Structure 1
Amino acid sequence: MENTNIRQTPHCAGCGIALQSDNQQSPGYVPMASIDKDDTICQRCFRIKHYNEASSITVDQDEFLKLLGSIASTESLVVHIVDLLDFEGSLISGLQRFVGNNPVLLVVNKIDLLPRVTNWNRMRNWVQKQARENGLKVADVVLCSAKRNIGFDRVVEAVTTMRGKRDVYVVGATNVGKSTLINRLISDYSDLKRELTVSRYPGTTLDAVHIPLDDGHSIIDTPGIVYSSRLTELVSRKDLGAIMPDKPLKPMTYQLNAAQSLFFGALARFDFVEGDRQSFTAFVSSGLTIHRTKLERADELYAEHKGTLLTPPEVADLDKLPAWTRHRLRIPSGKSQDIFISGLGWIQANGTSGATVDVHAPRGVKVMLRDCILGSGN
């Protein structure tokens, strides 16, 4: 006779990990007295939610990819959330091979952090072009800010129109605002009084979280993909607040001659190597101090002042970052380009006569030229 009383393993209502009471240092730990309570959250989620703490617990990246690979065999709507300030760093360029024929809705989050004069029609066209060039076929694009409730009605409308009678998989890199957005979806689609764990720390969601909807289908929040090519994955947790803005960017424009450099704390360096005098505009968090110097003095300045005048990081955290590598980039004449540094921001080259620049950044961090995200019309 089949045993219908088999106890199912409880899962954390915040991050989705299976709960356990055996090992306090492993994912999903909760005291035995709380493990069978409704909507129990693990010790890690409790600390994040109530004390803004985080632990170093992570799960295997292969498991993340295996979970993504299972989407192709389902009939679902895939909602891919990206961070507008780190678009190329947070886009899952290989997503198409994981999701099969399922439609992809690209939700571009954190638009509240761009200058208020941004031309949003132009921005939407830019996003579509960049997604296409990265091999991602999207059914639609929605710009929003889940945190500030900007454009969220359009997200709900797009999800409602596109999902029909299907489940909704939400995917994205770490720290792009997935859980914040899903919490908003839950409030619109379900009577459930649960809330996913939301924090600024990468990798908050540890396992797939299934949220049942009123129509019998589910929203599935997947763990964030960890990309070590993003500076936000490499800095210490205390420095995340300095490089991740929480209010609109204030562009900083510098008129530079060739052989001048800009330091972004001790996290990156920009050298204007060759070209006519021209301006460069930095779009980075206001928590990051920019220092200008002559290129001939840059190495000496870094050696003497890294971790003190040039912070973050502080001296104690410098050795935790990979050594800098140099990226030489040539900006063609007559073309507006951004110098993009994943997890830090970008530098807009405003000249039309071309330039040669070097970017020094921790080894492995994505550095590239791209079409200008904000043109003269913004």
Structure 2
Amino acid sequence: MVHTERGSRISTPDQAKSNRVLRTYSSVEPVREEEFVFLEYCEPEDERGQQLPDELRVTDSMISKEVKVPKRTDTEVRHKALEMQLQSLKHMTEEEPNTDSLIEFHDIGFPTEETTKKKKKAKKQQKIFGTPDSEVPFSDTCCSGCGAVMHCTDPNIPGYLPSEKYKSLTEEDKLKKATCQRCFLLVHHQKALNVTMTKEEYRNIVGRIQSEKALVLKIVDLLDIPHSIIPDLLELVGKNKQIVILGNKVDLIPGDSENYLQRIKRQLARYCSDVGIPVNDLKNIHLISAKTGYGIENLITSLQMSWKYKGDVYLVGTANAGKSTLFNTLLESDYCKSRASDVIHKATISPWPGTTLNLLKFPIINPTPYRMFRRAERLKQAALQTEEDLGPQELKRIQQFSKQGYLVGRIGRTFRVNPSPKKNIVEFDPDSLSFGEDFEENSRSIYEPSPEAELTYNEIKDAHWFYDTPGIMKEHDVLSFLNEQEVKLVVPTHAITPRTFVLKPGMVLFLGGLARIDYVEGNNSCWFSVIASSRVPVHITSLEKAEALYQKHAGKNLLGVPVGGEERMREFPPLVSQDFELQGQGYTTAIADIKLSSAGWVAVTGVEGDRLLLRAHAPEAGGLCLRSPPLLPHIVNIKGERIRKSPTYKTKKPQTVLDSKLSQDGKRQKMRGKK
């Protein structure tokens, strides 16, 4: 949503007059001078937030002091109670007693306003359930969700379980099927606990690949290139490794031209070559969506034909690139042994970086000629299916992902027959449920691995394994200084709808409170296309008002992110400016992208030959940079009509593309219906 300075939505006159006016402003008129009036924005007043006298005002610090009660011994508790009694007696001698204060009320089921504030404050804190026991040694079992070693010693160390739960599971010999407290809270409550694991520990775990014969799958977040490309990958995994590049989250990127996927693939290959990752053939680069399944079947076929069964396969990449999601997708595909998905627990996925803390694995199926033949037959039959031939669950899956991404694929199983009966549970998608969407739309019924099922010795004695490794933390990343609520707002989980604005020199674009771009100098108007989560608001103002507006509204409703008002902004890092000098290339081609790591980018389009001076502001650790050439050079064309007397264009969402064969069959069905 785009706000005016008053914070109200922009409305249009009656329909006939609106159509006539919009036709006038939809054309490109860089020479035309227009006056934009920026009125003062006022935050909506809260009637309950009236000012109280200082002696009656309850501050956040007072509430936090009451909520944060440290654990004390019995002696300390008694001493503290005596001190409080002495203070109260001393206070009573100085003031006259109030008869109303001598009455104690117990409103059962009706909490007072003070207790309600305390509870709200307590929700912001990370509660550790159960009690730790430092005398119990670490186990030899890893968490089936994140791979950390299970223990009950310290809640700040990965793999923690409360001692009560840890001891009972150990006695019942069920610890190997359990997940740690952190994974449980991530999946079921969308709460991220702080754990201690340094960057060196991450790299040491991934560095074990150096001494092994292995295939390396390097997964790259296409929304965050080149930041999501590990610059010293060969040093980390070894120089004698075969590397396949996977460009993930392609389903979230809007298509700006007919052959945009091939252009993205070539640009990804260039970025990899720039950091020393050899890309000898574009066939070793796959654009996929681990979430919607686009490109996964082609990836499996390519791996089975090229790498075959030569050794283990390691999936590496930066944090939040989608490794765990791809691990779960391949676990339920033809790349995994047919019975392994009945035994192995899925990896924990969440929008917070660094979810996987150790190696997770499943056994790879041996692609014998007979199995390859059967798989090819299944893929041919699947290509001939129409929408009417699909089962209700598969059709519902395609419809659901069509709302969330631009590219949707289908993944099937060839060798899984008569799966063992298992407990039917509901799997939650934390990326969606955490934003308050409907339960039925974002949850799906799956099968949980049976606790009794196990792989036999003969099934795994000579097996090769597929490993999901911990994410390498990026040097500069916006997510590093955002809290849980802000991360969920910034990380896009649905198809991005581009938002385009036309700015004159002396105007400023705010990307929430995370960054701002000043159009300092230029001869004509230029266009700014924002590719970022729709939950991050965009605000346009003048250069004269920009600084005052940021000081007044950062952390509040107008700028959206960060969240928490003045108290949050005290600890939020200051914005640091960078100047960029660009030269326009025409109305339909962007010059470059001004990019903020993990938060998206703004594509700048200017009049051909026009010199532009832009000043971008962002936190120093946010990874602000200029990306040239732009990833989507023609994105300025994906916009609607110009909104009257504003710098804003209406949004226009590109069409979702399903499996090519399925789309063709859908058109044939429509033609048959017409006949």
TM-score range, shorter chain: over 0.9
Name the counterpart of 2:569: 318
Post-superposition shift, 1:333?
Answer: 4.3
Q: Which amino acid is 2:617 matched to? A: H
Q: Which amino acid is 2:497 matched to? A: K
Name the counterpart of 1:258: 505
Of 330, 333, 336, 1:185 maps to 330
Alpha-carbon distance between aligned partners in 1 of 2:541 and 2:506, rounded to the nearest angstrom: 9
Asked if 1:207 corresponds to 2:358, the answer is yes
Post-superposition shift, 1:322?
Answer: 1.9
Alpha-carbon distance between aligned partners in 1 of 2:293 and 2:143, rounded to the nearest angstrom: 26
Asked if 1:126 corresponds to 2:383, the answer is no
Q: Which amino acid is 2:183 matched to? A: C
Are the aligned partners of 1:103 and 1:138 in contact in 2 as well (CA < 8 Å)?
no
Q: Which amino acid is 1:104 matched to? A: I
Is 363-372 or 28-37 further displaced after alignment?
Answer: 28-37
Post-superposition shift, 1:46?
Answer: 1.3
Post-superposition shift, 1:287?
Answer: 0.4
Post-superposition shift, 1:28?
Answer: 0.9
Alpha-carbon distance between aligned partners in 2 of 1:18 and 1:138, rounded to the nearest angstrom: 36
Aligned with 1:255: secondary structure?
strand
Q: Which amino acid is 1:156 matched to? A: I
Alpha-carbon distance between aligned partners in 1 of 2:623 and 2:471, rounded to the nearest angstrom: 18
Are the aligned partners of 1:226 and 1:233 in contact in 2 as well (CA < 8 Å)?
no
Q: Which amino acid is 1:203 matched to? A: G
Of 142, 149, 162, 2:286 maps to 142
Asked if 1:336 corresponds to 2:576, the answer is no
Post-superposition shift, 1:279?
Answer: 1.1
Are the aligned partners of 2:156 and 2:196 in contact in 1 as well (CA < 8 Å)?
no
Are the aligned partners of 1:76 and 1:163 in contact in 2 as well (CA < 8 Å)?
no
Aligned residues: 372
Alpha-carbon distance between aligned partners in 2 of 1:245 and 1:254, rounded to the nearest angstrom: 20
Name the counterpart of 2:4: none
Is 29-38 or 363-372 further displaced after alignment?
Answer: 29-38
Alpha-carbon distance between aligned partners in 1 of 2:328 and 2:362, rounded to the nearest angstrom: 10
Q: 1:14 to 1:150 in 2, by over 3 A?
A: same
Post-superposition shift, 1:171?
Answer: 0.8
Post-superposition shift, 1:376?
Answer: 2.7
Name the counterpart of 1:107: 246
Q: Could you report, residue by residue, the CA deviation over 1:209-229 in whole angstroms, capped at 9, with x for unpaired residues?
A: 233334501112111111241
Aligned with 2:622: secondary structure?
coil
Post-superposition shift, 1:255?
Answer: 1.0
Alpha-carbon distance between aligned partners in 2 of 1:338 and 1:63, rounded to the nearest angstrom: 34
Name the counterpart of 1:286: 534
Post-superposition shift, 1:298?
Answer: 0.9
Q: Which amino acid is 2:594 matched to? A: I
Q: TM-score, normalised by structure 2?
A: 0.53
Asked if 1:158 corresponds to 2:305, the answer is no
Q: Could you report, residue by residue, the CA deviation over 1:42-81 in whole angstroms, capped at 9, with x for unpaired residues?
A: 1111111222221011312101222333322211111111
Alignment of 1:1-378 (within 5 A): 9-30=140-161, 31-35=166-170, 36-37=173-174, 38-99=176-237, 100-116=239-255, 119-138=260-279, 140-164=284-308, 165-188=310-333, 189-190=336-337, 191-192=339-340, 193=342, 194-215=345-366, 216-276=463-523, 277-308=525-556, 309-314=558-563, 315=565, 316-334=567-585, 336-351=591-606, 352=608, 353-370=610-627, 371-376=629-634
Are the aligned partners of 1:82 and 1:108 in contact in 2 as well (CA < 8 Å)?
yes
Post-superposition shift, 1:84?
Answer: 0.9
Aligned with 2:492: secondary structure?
coil
Q: 1:356 to 1:224 in 2, by over 3 A?
A: same
Alpha-carbon distance between aligned partners in 1 of 2:570 and 2:167, rounded to the nearest angstrom: 39
Are the aligned partners of 2:206 and 2:470 in contact in 1 as well (CA < 8 Å)?
no
Q: 1:24 to 1:339 in 2, by over 3 A?
A: closer
Q: 1:354 to 1:143 in 2, by over 3 A?
A: farther
Alpha-carbon distance between aligned partners in 1 of 2:562 and 2:475, rounded to the nearest angstrom: 17
Post-superposition shift, 1:134?
Answer: 3.0
Q: Structure 1 or 2: larger helix share? A: 2
Is 323-332 or 264-273 further displaced after alignment?
Answer: 323-332
Post-superposition shift, 1:270?
Answer: 0.9
Q: Which amino acid is 1:32 matched to? A: K
Post-superposition shift, 1:318?
Answer: 2.3
Is 324-333 or 291-300 further displaced after alignment?
Answer: 324-333
Post-superposition shift, 1:179?
Answer: 0.3
Q: TM-score, normalised by structure 1?
A: 0.93
Is 332-341 or 251-260 further displaced after alignment?
Answer: 332-341
Are the aligned partners of 1:263 and 1:291 in contact in 2 as well (CA < 8 Å)?
yes
Q: 1:226 to 1:362 in 2, by over 3 A?
A: same
Alpha-carbon distance between aligned partners in 2 of 1:8 and 1:56, rounded to the nearest angstrom: 21
Are the aligned partners of 1:58 and 1:203 in contact in 2 as well (CA < 8 Å)?
no
Q: 1:306 to 1:241 in 2, by over 3 A?
A: same
Aligned with 1:150: secondary structure?
coil
**Structure 2, unaligned stretches of length 5 or more?**
1-137, 367-462, 638-675
Name the counterpart of 1:4: none
Alpha-carbon distance between aligned partners in 2 of 1:221 and 1:151, rounded to the nearest angstrom: 19
Q: Structure 1 or 2: larger strand share? A: 1
Alpha-carbon distance between aligned partners in 1 of 2:215 and 2:290, rounded to the nearest angstrom: 19
Post-superposition shift, 1:24?
Answer: 3.5
Is 365-374 or 17-26 further displaced after alignment?
Answer: 17-26
Q: 1:163 to 1:33 in 2, by over 3 A?
A: farther
Aligned with 1:90: secondary structure?
coil
Aligned with 1:44: secondary structure?
helix
Alpha-carbon distance between aligned partners in 2 of 1:360 and 1:322, rounded to the nearest angstrom: 12
Q: 1:8 to 1:344 in 2, by over 3 A?
A: closer
Q: 1:320 to 1:107 in 2, by over 3 A?
A: farther
Are the aligned partners of 1:265 and 1:311 in contact in 2 as well (CA < 8 Å)?
yes
% identical aligned pairs: 32
Q: Calculate the aligned-residue CA RMSD, in Å.
A: 2.0
Post-superposition shift, 1:117?
Answer: 5.1
Post-superposition shift, 1:180?
Answer: 0.5
Alpha-carbon distance between aligned partners in 1 of 2:189 and 2:495, rounded to the nearest angstrom: 26
Q: Could you report, residue by residue, the CA deviation over 1:130-154 in whole angstroms, capped at 9, with x for unpaired residues?
A: 2222332235111011111111112
Aligned with 1:239: secondary structure?
helix
Q: Could you report, residue by residue, the CA deviation over 1:339-360 in whole angstroms, capped at 9, with x for unpaired residues?
A: 1111111111111324221111
Post-superposition shift, 1:25?
Answer: 3.7
Q: Which amino acid is 2:196 matched to? A: T
Are the aligned partners of 1:168 and 1:219 in contact in 2 as well (CA < 8 Å)?
yes
Q: Which amino acid is 2:569 matched to? A: L
Aligned with 2:621: secondary structure?
coil
Q: 1:295 to 1:162 in 2, by over 3 A?
A: farther
